A and B are shown apart, each in its own frame.
Chain A
Amino acid sequence: MATCYYEGEPYDCSFTDKYFLPIADSIDQSTIAMAVKDSMLIVPWAGCFHLLSLALLGGAIIMADLRVIGPGLHSQSPQSLNRRMQPFLIAALAVLVLSGVMLALGEVMKLFYSPPYWVKMATLVSAVLFTFGTRDSLIRNNGRLTPLAIVFGLVSLLLWGWVFIALTSLLARVAFLIMIAGLGILVWLSGRSADSMPLMARLGSATTIALWMTTAVAGRWIAFW
């Protein structure tokens, strides 16, 4: 607990409220946030671009990572697919972040107290770290783990595990376990085909898909909270 002051009077408040609420408040009152809130069009269009780039990100992940665990263009190597999808992935991510910032500026104070928003931010960081730090290296090195990939993977999965234990509801956990089971079956089935990738690469790609799915679902859930 910490002590906050309202018009000079002390009262008990949480550390978050004491140290981060003023920051959120000043963002909320900034010129750009005011402009976003005053405009009738910025938030709806940011929503559209957010969805379209989400679809593009989905396409890039599906082409590169679903190939590693089964369905996809088997005439192409996973390495080549991954390389060709990288620009799409980065472009989609850039538009997602940009439009996401616009969406967030429209409702800063609501998001400050929104658990799904913080789940999403944490899983986003974990998905980015894993995608570019671990999975990319796993595909390029044909399933061999480099020390750097291990570090990125551990940080990412620890962060994600903490979110799963500390912040999610029962519904989210059940949904996630069902998704893990589905991806696990794909990883197992794809191991039986003749041109299958090594197990580590398949696990890396399945994890990538799972991390982006959690991020996207948590993002959608902000609206329902």
Chain B
Amino acid sequence: MRDFFLWMNETPWSVALRESFYVWPILEASHVMTLMLFVGTIIMVDLRMLGLVYRNVPLSEMDRRILPLTVAGFILLVITGLLLFYAKPLVYYHSLFFRLKILLIVAAMINILVYHFRIQKDMAAWDSDPKPPRSARISAAISLSAWVFVVITGRMIAYDWYNCEKLDPNGVMSALADCPPIEFADVTE
């Protein structure tokens, strides 16, 4: 997989993107701004599922009226995120924070699938309840904390504390980041 990203790193478009004066900052800024749309709306949906706000609004109305905004935000985040990754594939590939972030996103996705296919099945029975059943509240709590930590790990990618060149080459962290042998270490940047 590293070889693939090594190749991607050298493609002309990838080089152009990371060296561009405006496109990289614009992509980065859009990625962060879309956070307001995606995380902002998912916070509200999760808080409703926890029974903390909008207790008189049926969950189905949140699904119908607010979730499309969340999904739109997610699509924008994925597009800008993929482009950002494409611009610096090796940097992100070896970043422990990035790896953790992807794991958290996968966990959040699994949580969404479980909610959608298992918990939501009998939603008609508790759609208008001010406080949804425990299973739905647990799912909302998982979702909320997962996205909070996705934001935190995303921000932390910018810091180099755990980059390959700072890790013990024989340590666990180095293995988790799939760091290249020391003589090729300069290739990660």
Interface residues of A (CB under 8 A from B): 40, 44, 47-48, 51-52, 54-63, 66, 71-76, 84, 171, 213, 216-217, 220-221, 224
Contact = CB atoms under 8 A, between A and B. Distances in A.
A220 B28 contact: yes
B146 to A, nearest CB: 13
Interface residues of B, number: 35
A84 B53 contact: yes
* Chain A binding surface, main DSSP class: helix
Nearest to B21: A224
B65 interface: yes
B148 to A, nearest CB: 6
A124 B108 CA distance: 33
A180 to B, nearest CB: 15
Contacts of A57: 36, 40
Contacts of A217: 29, 33
14 contacts: A40-B161, A44-B156, A47-B158, A54-B32, A62-B40, A66-B69, A72-B66, A73-B57, A73-B65, A76-B54, A76-B57, A84-B54, A216-B36, A220-B29
B155 A47 contact: yes
B44 interface: yes
Given A62-B69, A72-B66, A73-B62, A51 B54 contact: no
A63 B159 CA distance: 33
A220 B32 contact: yes
Contact of A74 (B22, B32, B65): B65
B179 to A, nearest CB: 22
Counting chain A CB atoms within 10 Å of each CB, the highest count among B33, B57, B68 belongs to B33
Interface string B133-157: 0000000000000001001101110
B33 to A, nearest CB: 6
Interchain residue pairs A-B with the least CB separation, the first 7: A58-B36, A59-B40, A58-B40, A55-B39, A224-B25, A220-B29, A48-B152
B29 A72 contact: no
